[in-house]
């Protein structure tokens, strides 16, 4: 059985393709957002976070022979826990990492982490649109106060995300709740409505809506600050950007074991 660590829109496709190849799959997802996925037979779902110890316990309990990590590119803790548990339990690790966006011709600055991102964004402009989610808000809120600038934050419409914004000190009128995907047109309208001069995003790839953000920023003539992807501390296993290649390698591994 394969343990598939979910959290991205590609997860159900990967699970179904593995199942089509006769592989039993257990998907581990942090939240119940996977409940609406169209999954074929031979696939089970579990919910909730897993640290390295809990992951090792699950591997032993379920007879897991390999982990396929399809977590979000910025789920650094998940990736490192998966690598560590595979090392402890002496099983193989495969990772799917969606390709990054194409930034050629875009007015982009890159930052290593949110502290750098906040400093850079508020040095460049005074009306910032943050599209990196409801976590890591503190440096942006502080930078807005220090510079007398305005911070707008676009987050998921759930109460937890909105509460995070309030608790972090984001102004109520600056909390923009919405459920993507967002088109370039939607982004342009938002940028113009709030006179945004810098947009902050993660390098979440095409499936993460980065292309639409870049297109909107270009149309509005504003700068984009991109938070670089984290680096996995422990290197092991294989990493794939093409799903078909991942499926081929995992299927070959399962046949051999």
Separation between Cα atoms, residue 238 and residue 232, nearest integer Å: 12
pLDDT of residue 205: 72
pLDDT digits 0-9 by tens, 174-200: 999 998 889 999 999 999 999 999 999
pLDDT digits 0-9 by tens, 78-96: 988 999 999 999 999 999 9
Q: Which of 63, 60, 56 is nearest to 25 (CA)?
A: 63
Question: Does 100 score more than 80 pLDDT?
Answer: no
Contact by Cβ (8 Å): 121, 250: no
Tell me the average pLDDT across 206-213: 82
Tell me the average pLDDT across 200-221: 88
Q: Which pTM does this prediction carry?
A: 0.76
First to last CA, the chain: 11
Contact by Cβ (8 Å): 200, 120: no
Quick one: pLDDT band at residue 101, thresholds 50, 70, 90? confident
Tell me the average pLDDT across 164-172: 96
Question: Does 237 score more than 90 pLDDT?
Answer: no
Q: In this predicted structure, which of 21-25, 207-211, 223-227 has the lowest mean pLDDT?
A: 207-211
pLDDT of residue 168: 96
pLDDT of residue 33: 65
Question: Could you give the domains of the chain?
Answer: 2-98+241-256 (3.40.50.1380), 108-227 (3.40.50.620)
Rounded to 5°, the CA angle 70-4-238 comes to 60
Contact by Cβ (8 Å): 83, 226: no
Q: In this predicted structure, which of 26-40, 116-130, 135-149, 218-232 has the lowest mean pLDDT?
A: 26-40
Q: Which of 51, 8, 1 is nearest to 241 (CA)?
A: 8
What one-character DSSP code corresponds to residue 234? Answer: S
pLDDT digits 0-9 by tens, 102-123: 788 788 999 999 999 999 999 9
pLDDT of residue 2: 95
Which residues, in sequence order, are bridge partners of residue 221?
none
pLDDT of residue 235: 56
Contact by Cβ (8 Å): 140, 167: no
Tell me the average pLDDT across 134-144: 95
Question: Does 234 score more than 60 pLDDT?
Answer: no
Contact by Cβ (8 Å): 182, 157: no
Separation between Cα atoms, residue 185 and residue 189, nearest integer Å: 6
């Amino acid at each position: 059985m394969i343990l598939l660590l979910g959290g991205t829109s590609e997860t159900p496709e990967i699970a179904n393709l593995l199942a089509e190849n006769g592989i039993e799959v257990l998907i581990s997802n942090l939240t119940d957002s996977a409940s609406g996925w169209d999954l074929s037979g031979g696939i089970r779902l579990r919910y909730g976070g897993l640290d390295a110890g809990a992951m090792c316990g699950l591997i032993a309990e379920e007879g897991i022979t390999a982990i396929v990590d399809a977590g979000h590119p910025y789920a650094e803790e998940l990736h490192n826990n998966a690598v560590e548990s595979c090392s402890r339990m002496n099983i193989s690790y495969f990772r799917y990492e969606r390709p990054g966006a194409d930034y050629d011709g875009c007015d982009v600055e890159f930052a290593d982490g949110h502290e750098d991102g906040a400093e850079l964004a508020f040095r460049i402009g005074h009306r910032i649109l943050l599209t990196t989610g409801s976590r890591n808000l503190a440096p942006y809120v502080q930078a807005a106060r220090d510079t007398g600038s305005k911070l707008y934050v676009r987050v998921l419409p759930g109460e937890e995300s909105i509460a995070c914004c309030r608790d972090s000190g984001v102004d109520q009128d600056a909390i923009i709740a919405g459920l993507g995907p967002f088109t370039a047109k939607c982004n342009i309208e938002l940028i113009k409505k709030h006179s945004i001069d810098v947009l902050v995003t993660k390098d979440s790839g095409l499936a993460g809506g980065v292309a639409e953000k870049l297109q909107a920023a270009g149309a509005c003539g504003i700068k984009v600050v991109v938070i670089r992807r984290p680096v996995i501390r422990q290197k092991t296993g294989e990493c794939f950007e093409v799903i078909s290649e991942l499926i081929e390698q995992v299927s070959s591994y399962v046949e051999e074991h």
